[in-house]
Structure 1
Amino acid sequence: MPAAWFLNGPNANLYGLDAKGTYGRESWPQLRERCLDVAAAHGLELDMRQTNDEGELVTWIQQARSEAQGLLINAAGLSYTSVAVLDALLLFEGPVLEVHMSNIHRREPFRDRTFTSKGAKGGIFGLGALGYELAVIAMARLLSE
């Protein structure tokens, strides 16, 4: 069974707590469980992680090089600031998909460009929790081809 890691950056642990609903109503544990269920239904072994620490995120990307065939990432705020995350993604040999809960292109102007997109095969933006599910399905398809 192919394996993928879904790495999430700062503040994803607060999903469902934003009064404006920018990041949906589901909590991080609910979203994680939803993605694990979708992965299992599509024959994908999924390791889903969240950290508020840039160094830990880079370490996980490096570790995934030997333990996963695909990588999904929502680096959150680090998407716009971290060359270190980009450099790690560029060394990952399998497909990388960038995912964001909100449509980053309809938000503040600084969100129009992400470093992480330079290291990704493709991306899904603005579909909330559904986008996470679709990304998992897309990764399962990419790894089965």
Structure 2
Amino acid sequence: MGATDGLVGTVIDEVSFDVERGKIREFATATATDDLIHTDRAAARAAGFEDVLATPTHVVVAGHVRDQGAFVDRLGLALERVVVGGVRWEYQRALVAGDTLRGTRRVTSDVQRAGSRGGTVRIITLETEYLDAAGSPVVRLTETIIERGASS
């Protein structure tokens, strides 16, 4: 088993989006976040932020503007056999309303190994580095995608 067809280092896609106050409010509501720094500009400023603070998982909004079909095709995945193995966010600074982000998603690992019930599983690790308008890193998103082997 081991590495597959050399996708490591491949840029899968690039995305840009604005961090909007209304979208932050939606995420805060959806995740039952009741801290006012996510919904009230005065509270956020009193806490030392320039504007309302995005919730920790906010960059998943990029999925709304990405071409997910092209992503699946580019990786050669059979979507019906794919599950999310994990997601991790690493922030270099706070993400606030008014930020504009540009993210580049790359394959950092792509391996096949024996599955626990026979067959194989493919485990792909993707990293998206989000930069702000000045080109400074804001957050790194690491995703693990698992594709189960085809049934016999």
| TM norm structure 2 | 0.24
Q: Which has the larger radius of gyration?
A: 2
Bigger proportion of residues as strand: 2
Bigger proportion of residues as helix: 1
| TM norm structure 1 | 0.25
